Chains A and B, each alone.
Chain A
């Protein structure tokens, strides 16, 4: 402690002997850390937005199907609505919403074209709580109830079919008896999501669809929403235990692309951190070596006066500790300031079509990730001190007689 009191004021004043160099190093460290924190916030927000936007369309946080349905979705691999243990497991407070759907492969036909599609029979009032599709209507209306036999189709599908609101399309689905059942549906609504989704999904009332294919009360999936992602694994395990013969999966297993994105986002942030750290290291080593070489004479003098080699090492290391520490604090303030300044969201709607492939929302909401403000600054601080140990070691090795020689 006594040594710290001796060296700390000296180290602090030494930092400001060359203010320009100190300020440049501070800029390197603080801008480097700021960029890491800002990029981390942006990527996290983007990943979150992209995930939320995708999951809110149809997937939710997880789904339950009959065994084999996901490999080969057809009318022979449906299941009954939840009851008993499964119903109780679904009604736990960690699941905020759940819905049942009947989803089957189909062929949709207009006067001009026939295309493959997937028809989803929904309970509209339940769907409004869990899916964003009802809010994405750009023409017409959403379904009014389970018996509503209107069709809500995607904007791009409407274009491809050359159909429009109020016209009729033919849906052909393999019925329970194995025959291809076809029926005409009024296009009552058109929604605008991403193109791939628009091309695939057609929504109609669940009871109307069940009646069409000759099934009563059969469903293809249960989709459930778990607001706290950290509880998802536990929820899935509970549902699997409640319905061991069914296939319960969380979103990472249902959307492999989203799962892969989720897994690699952290990697992207750490790669960026690595690049920044290399730049910061070069800057710090350069600065500290210059600072040491300029003061060789002085280190010799201090040694001649009785300062021990360990003191010299500690002095130079302390200078780095203070310099990098100050840069880190400024970088943290800049990072937090940037996130705070953009807390109302970054509006990306102008790039809506360009960003559609990324399935992100129109507005990104940056948030301060508390652990980012611990891990990244600490890593940079430690790195800065570690890389400064070499110049410090060089300074500690200086023989005091060199100072005497150069002084006389």
Chain B
């Protein structure tokens, strides 16, 4: 199997001198195509920082991150934006939908940025919303949706651009048990049926139960990496 994400000696230090915080300490990690991997560890272990590095949202202090064969080192802000748009889908803890856009428009937004023609854009957005069980709710604004529904929109948005990898950071942290179970099933199904690669930062055992690969972090280091 091909590695979609590759981290080699990735180190991240925030601050300088005595105030320096070593968030990541020489991470070596390959995420393979089709992985449904969870990244776990206590708060401050470096999960979010590592996801930020892989998602081209931040630069490592040392080391190299490669996404779908492209090294992120030395890329301009514009090129990083393009890479995020084309290859990475994000799901955040706090849903992070644009409040003035409807569900369909939120999902379409990524396709608009990718300059997908209008007709195809709409069809793909509606299909993505149907995929996450939001058929008939396309015109609703986020304020008229529940937390679970908003997170489904966020998943549809993350998937609609057909990214090489979906990075989810605590996607179920704000959801109740029932909704969490539904969303985990959904992400797992998408991984199984479409082969989409997921890397999920989580504390949630219900998410970890579904993972095919479990990566444990502590103090900026990977302490275990197991497949089930």
Interface residues of A (CB under 8 A from B): 2, 5-6, 10, 13-14, 16-17, 297-298, 301-310, 399-401, 403-405, 407-408
Contact = CB atoms under 8 A, between A and B. Distances in A.
A341 B52 CA distance: 62
A301 B82 contact: no
A6 B105 CA distance: 10
Contacts of B90: 304-305
The SS class assigned to the A binding surface is helix
A407 B82 contact: no
Interface string B64-103: 0000000000000110011011100010111010111100
Contact of A10 (B94, B98, B169): B98
Contact of A404 (B57, B86, B157): B57
A303 B52 CA distance: 13
Contacts of B55: 304, 404
B28 to A, nearest CB: 22
B52 A2 contact: no
A407 B93 contact: yes
Contacts of B86: 306
Contact of B93 (A2, A307, A408): A408
A26 B115 CA distance: 34
B101 A408 contact: no
Given A14-B100, A306-B82, 19 more contacts: A6-B109, A10-B101, A298-B98, A301-B92, A301-B96, A304-B57, A304-B90, A305-B109, A306-B81, A310-B78, A400-B57, A404-B55, A404-B92, A405-B48, A407-B93, A407-B94, A407-B96, A408-B48, A408-B170
Contacts of A301: 92, 96, 98
Contact of B84 (A2, A298, A305): A305
Contact of A408 (B78, B99, B113, B169): B169
A307 B57 contact: no
Contacts of A400: 57, 84
Contacts of A408: 48, 92-94, 169-170, 201
9 contacts: A5-B112, A10-B100, A17-B99, A305-B157, A306-B84, A308-B78, A308-B81, A309-B77, A405-B52
B153 interface: no
A13 B113 CA distance: 18
A13 B201 CA distance: 33
Contact of A6 (B81, B99, B112, B170): B112
Contact of A401 (B57, B92, B201): B57
Contacts of B99: 17, 298
A41 to B, nearest CB: 39
B10 interface: no
Given A6-B113, A401-B52, A407 B169 contact: yes
B57 A17 contact: no
Q: 9 tightest CB-CB pairs across the interface, nearest first?
A: A306-B85, A13-B100, A407-B92, A401-B58, A401-B57, A308-B81, A407-B94, A301-B96, A6-B112
A17 B98 contact: no
Contacts of B58: 399, 401
B110 A404 contact: no
B84 A304 contact: yes
B100 A404 contact: no
Contacts of B170: 408
Given A6-B112, A308-B77, A408-B92, A302 B52 contact: no
A301 B96 CA distance: 7
Nearest to A12: B100
Contacts of A13: 100-101
B195 to A, nearest CB: 22
B110 A306 contact: yes
A315 to B, nearest CB: 11
B99 to A, nearest CB: 7
A310 B92 CA distance: 24
A24 to B, nearest CB: 19
A305 B91 CA distance: 10
Of the candidates A304, A306, A307, A401, the one having the most CB atoms from chain B within 10 angstroms of its own CB is A306
A402 B15 CA distance: 15
Contacts of B51: 404
Contacts of B57: 304, 399-401, 404
